[in-house]
Structure 1
Amino acid sequence: MSIKKFIGLFLSVGTCAYATGSNTLNGPTFLFSAANPRPAAIYHAFDMPIISSPGTAGATFTGASTDILNSAKLQDLANKGYTHIQLPPFQYCSPAQDGTKPKLGPSDKQYPDVWFLGYSNYICVLDSNYATTASGLEATGGTDPKKYGTTATDGTTAIGYYLGSPRYGTMADLKALITAAQGYALGIIMDVQFNQVSFDLAGTGSQSSAITNPSVLHPMTIPSGGSTPTLSSINFPSGFFNAYQGEPNWDIPSQAQTTWKFGPDLNTGHTKVQEMIVNYLKLLKDLSVAGLRVDGLKQIPISDWNAILSQARTAGVTFNYGYGEAFNVTVPTLSPYVAIMPVLDFALQDVVGNVFANDASVSTLVAPASLGNTQSAVTLSAGHDFYPNISTGGFHKFYTTPKSVHTHTDTPANLPNACAACTFNRNDLANMIDSQLAIAYMLSRRDGSPLIIRFDDDKDVYDVSFNPKGKNIIKNALAFRKAMDANMAPHEYMVALNSDVLLIARQFGFALINKGGRSRTIPLNDLSIPPPSSPAYVPNNLYIPDTTYNSATNAGGSYYQDVSDAGIKYTKSSTAFVSITGGSSLILPSRNAKFFVLQYPTGLSARSVVFQVNNATTSLGQQMGVVGSHPLLGNGAIRPDFLNIMMNQGASPALANLWRTIPISFPAGSTVSPYTVPYKFAVINSDGTIAAQEGTSTSLTISSTGTGGSEAHSYSGGGGGGSSTVSFRVGSAYTAWGQNVYVIGSSTELGSWNTANAVIMSPTSYPTWTKTVIFNNPSFPIAYKYIKKSGTSVTWLSGSDKTIPGTTSVNDTWS
């Protein structure tokens, strides 16, 4: 393989890239603006009305708050640091006010008025009666609703999705909320569902008749002077619905894309259906909706999505932000949908669930197998589809005691809202803190947009049921993210201090998360773990802990106002990390998180680097990557979160072999003390293994903050000849405080037996340590051994030297 290389190192000061990979793979190319930063935090106003009298709908479940989205609530959310509010679908569902119950399934099963009815749409005749009832149309530039739908069989009657709900509010209420939210710099994200309608469109007869004869389905109409839709005699165009094909297997796209499980399924390949969807998007755009959450992304074929979103963009219908729900926990399965739009990062949800709910090591959070770093993914802990007293099916790892699914008990019609087992799980203190710590992790990260369901936010208060009281984990994490975003903190560096404690350094501050049952004293050494060849990831200066963001102090250079720890600040120097009042060390409580922000974040910067390679020859299924001697470059391997993978830019034949990374932000060095990062380009197989890499490393120099600009370096040859990658693994390597495990050996890459040059390993699953090393022109066998180091103190593994015979991995035990 011959690769001609060109690397563009685009260096800038204080910039941060929030999304996404290549131009051909970022969903915003279709519908959403890639130029807009990702939402810092999304408040999920699940099943939350915007009107004071939401029909007969009560609380979501027994004991749930009955808050409404009024001005006081908007002010509270803005003060906390939320930037967006996600609303439930404002698509009509029957309110069951007269005792009738909508029917959503082919089994004719009846349900009372519950939240999920809003995910089965009413399609309505868009006439003057509808315009009068949905008075919000006046705010869209006119009261003629026909431009927001398509035409029925007669070719003249306009039909389209009904917007407005007796449970949540009318279109006029929605427009008023959007305007009020804009006054608090809050964007409104609408939850939308496009492919399924309500069985109510079949009338009052047997709903299962629609399965064999879709012609019994008719649009609803608004009677003159009325507000409750009734069935019309208008016919849908031929082929408007997919044929019923039985209960689906959700992992088989062809079945998931034609299911009638939640109502008659629209044929989204039909030109009239596509026109109806595009024009409904236009209505939301005209109402000033900021973004979308698209439900059931996998239920619409990718080819139909491409057609729909391309038509929307051609019509000028774009949004600042949006994402879709495509449920799967594996990155390869989610990847095709990332080409459409950003998606919910269920892969990360699975990882954080294993850590915080199932007690896996926090080391798996350092570089998780997720979408968070390569796409503008939305991250979450307990989503509404898995929340107790809400979920109609299974449960996630959060909020289950024991950690398993159960059948709803003590409920009418087998609904979860009054299930006693759900109620117990939801109110279990340990379950609450599991979810809150997961949210703290997601808010402390650089990438992703955490989606926080309102019930988790409700529990994050000073509450006598907490021990200790008033953890305020989410509140403090929101303030931390807001401060980091205010500084455009560009990088993150994570270290598992042990299996329970995680350090997340963000250059202008750092977070410490302790999921364990024991407190931990944080010594200076915990904040000085990065390799000595790199600059300090936690700068020496004055830090304020657990505080509330206050923009009024920005003029003085301070981005934080001390609240919960009034008067207590910490100072980090080259010799200690202690409070300035009494000089005591920091104690990180058990099952809690602490956040520290530089009081005067001046004079700090980062270098944002885009790696690029031209004329790279790859086989089908392979990608390019950049690996190097730095955690951000995988320490010689591809990171599980794919941060150092490269995206093909092949939007045209001229760009077919052009590959780039997303901007990777390194902590800046200085003019006096620059540091270098050796790196190589590599060809990556579909399973993440390295197929080949260039033979000679190139050094990237990170020096002073400078004024930005670019540097270019050209190279020739390479392709992996003369290089070899070996993965080292040593188990049972227990360490004392301050110790780390290193691999050392006879080759230059292993330090030539000089302990000062030994290669540090990572505690990926403590007490197991791992490290991947790239050898240039190796001469096997190579002798090696493991050591434990703390400062100048060195402990050698006993016994004879070990040898690398030429294999790609070695697996050892410290004994």
Structure 2
Amino acid sequence: MSPVLRPRSADAVEQRHPGTPRGRGSRRLLPGGLLLASALAAGALLPLSLQSAAHASSPNGGDVIANLFEWNWPSVAQECTDVLGPKGYGAVQVAPPEDSIRIGGAPHAWWDVYQPVGYDLNSRMGTEAQFKDMVTACHTAGVKVYSDVVLNHMAGADQSSTDSYGGDTFSTGAQSYSQVPYSSADFHQYPANCPNSGMAINDWNNQTQVQECDLSNLEDLYSESDDVRTKEAAYLNKLIGYGVDGFRVDAAKHINQNDFANIESRLNTTLWGQRPYILQEVFPGSGGNLAPSAFEANGSVIGFDYADTLKSQFQGNIAGLKTFGSSGLEPSAKEGAMVTNHDTERDGSTLSYKNGSQYTLATEFMLARGYGTPSVYSGFAFANRDDSPPADSSGFVTRTDCGSGAWVCTDRVRGIANMVDWHNAAAGQSVANWWDNGNNAIAFSRGSTAWIALNNSGAAVTQTFSTGLAAGTYCDIIHGDISSSGTCGGPTVTVDAAGKATVTVNPGDSVALYARTAPCTTDCPTSPPPSGTVNETFNETKTTVPGQNVYLTGSIPALGNWSTDAAIALSSASYPVWRATVALPANTSFEYKYIVKDAAGTVTWESGANHTARTGSTDGTLNDTWGSTGQVTVTFDETKTTVPGQNVYLTGSIPALANWSTDAAIKLSPTAYPTWTATLNIPANTSFEYKYILKDAAGTVTWESGSNRTFTIPASGPVTLNDTWK
């Protein structure tokens, strides 16, 4: 059973077969993927320094692009403000903003927007005013805006609709588009330009046909004409004037390179004083002057080759990633790296959200490897190839709701979002300290700044790795966030003086560490929590099968607001007890549940009612068993006089008390010194033994003397145990 509130859900060929109704080529998608776990040094983090005035702010300096496919403009603005800017994304890619055909009846297919009918900016994503506001909001957050633009063609010659989202007047039959305006003289024709009657592309290796005939019946603009070039450059300069920083050029393969170079030469400098970034859609499969490399002089090209390579590795043996980028890809400076996009996720040629953890892992690897300009794709869930994004009855796209199950907000997934800053911190550092097991587990560092381990197999991998990092305790950012005060909301990894760390990487998972600031060298997970919070430790007893991992989510933001994508991963180091320590607001009531995710990303909720709990003013522990909610709150008060450097801990015979482990023992609070206190939730009617221990600054452990203490939890509580050191 799920909790009261539901979690959210996720997120074509060059030689597209004739009759496919949309404005681009298509390609293939990668299944599979890899998991990266990264950890950020748990020192204080510096917030971005951004000015509030529109366009007076400066870019945050990152290069990672969030491709928010067909999100409407208010939703993009909100995402820039709340997620992309704070997480360090360098840019956001948005849908084509021009007016486009609206084909009657449901479902108003997603590809409507790739059939332009005018260059005004009233579209199914919103109004021109909303577009301008979106760009301003993203700039204020330090995020550049790259707009998808359709310059190769207008609407489909085979479309009878005369309706558009923005109200522009047009006729595909007459090749008349009054808003631009374009007439039949502005389009390639048979036989003057295209040698084929019907304007079809019959030979995909023939440059004339590819660049002067109609792609999928879409009316092909006569880009050799100065009139067409002038109007297209004016459209792009209008966008630049509103603050757009670059363009993803749809169907760029179908525009002669010299023609596009002419258009590009007419473009203004962006408001942030740079030349516009150009990312061209050039499907591989043709050679010579139609190969992706033939377009590099005009800008970068979308990384279909990159995505194909990732798919083959993640569905095979990821040890082969050791030589990734050494050959077979576009040069890094021209590679628009991606795991998937809206075409390839629909034709299955690359990985997509439907591949579960493999998709997440591949995206994390892309961010870690540092080859090309990476793009993180966030679209919408679909059952059929032509499905519309969530929209009203008129086809206008509605607000993105990442908790609805209709949208796939990959840019927000904890491991991916946190890997953006990992990627930024590692910029300029070479791959080093490579390790693999010859199969589906790898690890590597980026110089001495960042390290990651990926496990694409069905069994946990435990290994002592050379990380290249300085000695210290680092936060695993795949499974925990770094707070504004620098504390870690998840598991940590200790790196010794030799730069080595012993790490267990769960199946289909990852661990990643990096140092933005000097790594902390004290008790980072619990010392101290952010002001107004306490560290709550969750212990969940659950037997799993290979490929399954246990996560925690709940009713408050620190527990993901019931989101399965934002759920907190629990460590299996004390299996079958799964554990995580999370900073929660002090003196706050909340509900929570545990979930299991398998290697395919399938989510299983524990049965029964939600767990309920309340934090106190000091750190606490919740001890649960899958499907059971019977808990009693037990306070342990131990009176002990200590010397500086000593702390009192509690351990015992049950999982809630760390199974006699001194390493995992529960630290007591000295707030009421000489009484040391901890409050835990323990299953009702449980009998157990326990003892207190001392740890000094050197880590020396001293047990209290005498026999073990014993107690049986009653059916209800709360209970306080008052003890004195013996």
TM-score (normalised: structure 2): 0.51
Consecutive unaligned residues of structure 2, counting only runs of 5 or more, are 1-57, 163-170, 383-400, 520-726
1:374 and 1:271 map into 2 onto residues whose CA distance is 33
Corresponding residue number in structure 1 for 2:141: 184
For residue 419 of structure 2, the aligned residue among 460, 464, 480 is 480
Match status 1:114 vs 2:123: no
Corresponding residue number in structure 2 for 1:398: 351
Match status 1:490 vs 2:490: no
Q: Secondary structure at the match of 1:216?
A: coil
CA contact (8 A) 1:511 1:593 kept: yes
1:136-535 residue pairs with structure 2 within 5 A?
Answer: 161-165=119-123, 167-199=124-156, 216-221=174-179, 235-237=183-185, 242-243=193-194, 245-260=199-214, 261-312=216-267, 319-328=275-284, 333-359=291-317, 361-363=319-321, 365-371=323-329, 374-387=332-345, 391=346, 394-399=347-352, 427=354, 431-455=355-379, 474-486=413-425, 488-493=427-432, 495-498=434-437, 499-506=439-446, 507-523=448-464, 526-527=465-466
Percent identity reads 17
1:484 and 1:357 map into 2 onto residues whose CA distance is 24
CA shift in 2, pair 1:186/1:593, >3 Å: same
CA contact (8 A) 2:434 2:444 kept: yes
Aligned partner of 1:398: which letter? L
1:38 and 1:445 map into 2 onto residues whose CA distance is 18
2:70 and 2:151 map into 1 onto residues whose CA distance is 19
Per-residue Cα deviation, 1:288-343 (whole angstroms, up to 9, x for no partner): 11211111111011121222222336999964423111111799832111121011
Shift of 1:245: 3.1
CA contact (8 A) 2:187 2:220 kept: no
Shift of 1:70: 4.7
Corresponding residue number in structure 1 for 2:17: none
CA shift in 2, pair 1:253/1:238, >3 Å: closer
Q: Secondary structure at the match of 1:454?
A: strand
**Number of equivalences:** 420
Shift of 1:277: 1.4
1:661-680 residue pairs with structure 2 within 5 A?
Answer: none
CA contact (8 A) 2:160 2:172 kept: no
Shift of 1:40: 3.0
CA shift in 2, pair 1:510/1:373, >3 Å: farther
Aligned partner of 1:515: which letter? N
Per-residue Cα deviation, 1:188-244 (whole angstroms, up to 9, x for no partner): 110011011114799769xxxxxxx9982212359xxxxxxxxx9x84546665545
2:328 and 2:81 map into 1 onto residues whose CA distance is 32
Q: Secondary structure at the match of 2:421?
A: helix
1:13-32 residue pairs with structure 2 within 5 A?
Answer: none
Corresponding residue number in structure 2 for 1:47: 70
1:313 and 1:79 map into 2 onto residues whose CA distance is 29
CA shift in 2, pair 1:278/1:339, >3 Å: same
Corresponding residue number in structure 2 for 1:543: 474
CA contact (8 A) 2:463 2:504 kept: yes
CA contact (8 A) 2:248 2:278 kept: yes
Shift of 1:455: 4.1
Per-residue Cα deviation, 1:130-156 (whole angstroms, up to 9, x for no partner): xxxxxxxxxxxxxxxxxxxxxxxxxxx
1:514 and 1:473 map into 2 onto residues whose CA distance is 21
Shift of 1:171: 1.4
CA contact (8 A) 1:201 1:217 kept: no
CA contact (8 A) 1:495 1:504 kept: yes
TM-score (normalised: structure 1): 0.46
Structure possessing the higher relative contact order (Cα contacts under 8 Å, 6 or more residues apart): 2
Q: Root-mean-square deviation (CA), in Å?
A: 4.1
Q: Secondary structure at the match of 2:462?
A: strand
Per-residue Cα deviation, 1:29-72 (whole angstroms, up to 9, x for no partner): xxxxxx99985322211122225xxxxxxxxxxxxxxxx33536
Question: Higher strand proportion, which one?
Answer: 2
Per-residue Cα deviation, 1:592-627 (whole angstroms, up to 9, x for no partner): 11111237449xxxxxxxxxxxxxxxxxxxxxxxxx
CA shift in 2, pair 1:384/1:307, >3 Å: same
Corresponding residue number in structure 2 for 1:563: 489
Shift of 1:384: 0.7
1:264 and 1:352 map into 2 onto residues whose CA distance is 35
Corresponding residue number in structure 1 for 2:671: none
1:450 and 1:590 map into 2 onto residues whose CA distance is 25
Shift of 1:358: 4.4
For residue 90 of structure 2, the aligned residue among 76, 79, 83 is 83
Q: Secondary structure at the match of 2:133?
A: helix
Shift of 1:87: 0.9
1:643-658 residue pairs with structure 2 within 5 A?
Answer: none
1:328 and 1:201 map into 2 onto residues whose CA distance is 26
CA shift in 2, pair 1:294/1:462, >3 Å: closer
1:174 and 1:366 map into 2 onto residues whose CA distance is 39
Q: Secondary structure at the match of 2:258?
A: helix
Shift of 1:81: 3.4
CA shift in 2, pair 1:178/1:214, >3 Å: closer
Consecutive unaligned residues of structure 1, counting only runs of 5 or more, are 1-34, 52-67, 102-110, 124-160, 206-212, 223-231, 400-425, 529-536, 554-559, 579-584, 603-815
Shift of 1:448: 2.2
Per-residue Cα deviation, 1:455-503 (whole angstroms, up to 9, x for no partner): 4999xx999x9xxxx9999532442341452465532236251221222
1:76 and 1:203 map into 2 onto residues whose CA distance is 41
Per-residue Cα deviation, 1:487-535 (whole angstroms, up to 9, x for no partner): 6553223625122122231121101111111211121xx417xxxxxxx
CA shift in 2, pair 1:472/1:238, >3 Å: closer
